[in-house]
Amino acid sequence: MHRFFIETYGCQMNVYDSNIIASIMADAGFERTCHSSDADILIFYTCNVREKAAQRVFSNINLLRSANTKVVAVGGCVPQAEKDEIFRYKHINIAFGPHAYHMLPTHVSRVLSGETDRVLDVTPLHPQKFNCCGAERTASHSEFVTIQEGCDNYCTYCIVPYTRGKEYSRPVADIIAEIKMLLARGAQEITLLGQNVNSYDGDAPYINIRKPRGTWNFGRLLQEVAALDGLRRLRYTTSHPKDITTDLMEQHAHIDVLVPFVHIPVQSGSDRILKLMNRGHTTKEYVDKLMAFRDICPGIQFSSDFIVGFPTETEDDFEDTLNLVKEVGYLNAYSFKYSPRNGTPAATMDGQIPDDIKARRLSMLQSELMKSQRAHNEAIVGKMMEVLLDKAGKKDRQYVGKNVYMQSVVVESDDADLIGKFRMVIIERAFQNSVAGRLV
Ligand code: SF4
């Protein structure tokens, strides 16, 4: 039997896609292995959001290829963005975009049979890819489900509209069927995924034509999912600030299983930079939405994304970003140096910022974000909260789980198998990236 090994890079949507790929490969009779040396089919599912992603994939192909390797398949956003270049790396047999993963077993079989040694499949969206989620798909206690993909916002730094394509929403019935299947197979926590989940439009499946919101907006989808038997926690990511509505805030006030923690990327605290980024909102509009969220749902917490060193960013612009971080008090955030992506407008803008300045600003921003994260961790000491235990810890008897705010909680127990179980925990100590507690 042929065995395959998958290495996944990048975002949660890539993790989701990789799970589907594993299940459709298993359905087609291939066996998954966790050791690349046991595999004759190596699959690399890639991310192109940052610079040098392709080089990293190529060097990892070199590291993982062995005498056993018969097929190397590279999927996801790198081949979609670099379709003209991808085969300059001679060891790649199959290059497939994020909309063609359902064809992978067919492509692999063609290479194995000797029919061809090169396949390029970077076609635009095949909606049927979502209907290929494999009879062999297993479910862990926490699962991702894509509800929306692609983006029409064209932020000037971002490659996603060119790799994942135009915005489209999956039909409600398909989403509900997939989640029901995952719940029946043991999932308890579901994270709904999309580049802009809150622009979900179930009345215009597949191609979001920007018509006025119909009856199946994101809030209604949340209600429908939350009503499913067996669901204990519901999360979603990512949201665009301009599509955060009062309706969505009110869902948080009314749906018990919906966590009080929302990721709302802002990227910069400077209105001038937000305009150059084509983000479609000002800092004030963003902060006003967060404050309204807090009024409607007291206790809600936020995380965000930041880019430092966007072209022309001045010290004053950067100061505005630091001030925004202090004002909002994020529970955590992802922060990066601006990385020019070929084909995006920002890559050719005047005023590119030297790397040493980007590095200094990133370090200053991260120390501010770390202060905020530490303060949030300290604020829950003494509180009792429900934790979903995810995995074994580094030490004997240790388990690590997540509370509703995605804070990592470490506990000790002699119980042999707590993974995938919800437990009440009293938080006793706070650290930078986690808290420690005692099982009640
Ligand atoms: S909203 Fe902007 S940053 Fe997010 S995926 Fe779309 S273009 Fe990229």
pLDDT digits (tens, 9 = 90+) for 257-271: 999 999 999 999 999
Measured from CB, residues less than 6 Å from any atom of ligand 1 are: 151, 153-155, 158, 160-161, 195-196, 240
Angle at 309 between CA 305 and CA 311, to 5 degrees: 115
Task: Give the pLDDT score at 213.
Answer: 53
Which residues neighbour 209 within 8 Å (Cβ) at sequence distance 6 or greater?
none
Cis omega before residue 69 (within 30°)? no
For residues 128-152, average pLDDT: 84
CATH match for 384-439 among 1.25.40, 2.40.10, 2.40.50, 3.30.70: 2.40.50
Ligand 1 atom with the shortest distance to the CA of 154 = 7
- Give the pLDDT band (50/70/90) at residue 227: very high
Residue 192 DSSP code? E
- Give the pLDDT band (50/70/90) at residue 54: confident
Please tell me whether residue 421 adopts helix, strand or coil conformation: coil
Do the domains 3-127 and 384-439 sit in the same CATH topology, yes or no? no
Kindly state the tokens that stand for 148: 């929306």
CA-nearest residue, atom 1 of ligand 1: 153
Which residues neighbour 245 within 8 Å (Cβ) at sequence distance 6 or greater?
198, 217, 219
Kindly state the tokens that stand for 54: 């392709």
Query: Could you tell me which of 71, 434, 406 has the C-alpha nearest to residue 235?
Result: 406
Ligand 1 atom with the shortest distance to the CA of 152 = 6
Which residues neighbour 171 within 8 Å (Cβ) at sequence distance 6 or greater?
202, 205
Is the predicted pLDDT of residue 200 greater than 90, yes or no?
yes
Task: Give the pLDDT score at 133.
Answer: 66
Task: Give the pLDDT score at 204.
Answer: 59
* 47, 49, 153: residue to mutate for ligand 1 pocket, most atoms within 8 A of CB: 153
- Give the pLDDT band (50/70/90) at residue 123: confident
pLDDT digits (tens, 9 = 90+) for 228-245: 999 999 999 999 999 999
Hey, where are the domains in the chain? 3-127, 139-259, 272-379, 384-439
Which residues neighbour 318 within 8 Å (Cβ) at sequence distance 6 or greater?
270, 308, 361, 364, 365
Q: Which CATH class is domain 3-127?
A: alpha beta
Residue type, 141: H
CA-nearest residue, atom 8 of ligand 1: 158
Kindly state the tokens that stand for 191: 């994270």
Q: How far is the CA of 175 from the centre of ligand 1 (A)?
A: 23
Task: Give the pLDDT score at 83.
Answer: 80
CATH fold of 139-259: Transcription Regulator spoIIAA (3.30.750)
Residue matched to tokens 């064809």: 103
CATH code 3.30.470.20 for 272-379? no
Ligand 1 atom with the shortest distance to the CA of 151 = 6
For residues 37-51, average pLDDT: 91
Check if the beta carbon of residue 40 is closer than 8 Å to that of residue 79: no
For residues 185-197, average pLDDT: 96
For residues 80-87, average pLDDT: 84
Q: Where are the beta strands (DSSP E) in 301-383?
A: 301-308, 332-337
pLDDT digits (tens, 9 = 90+) for 5-22: 999 998 899 999 999 999
Edge to edge, the sheet with strand 41-46 lists 31-32, 3-8, 41-46, 71-76, 94-96, 119-121
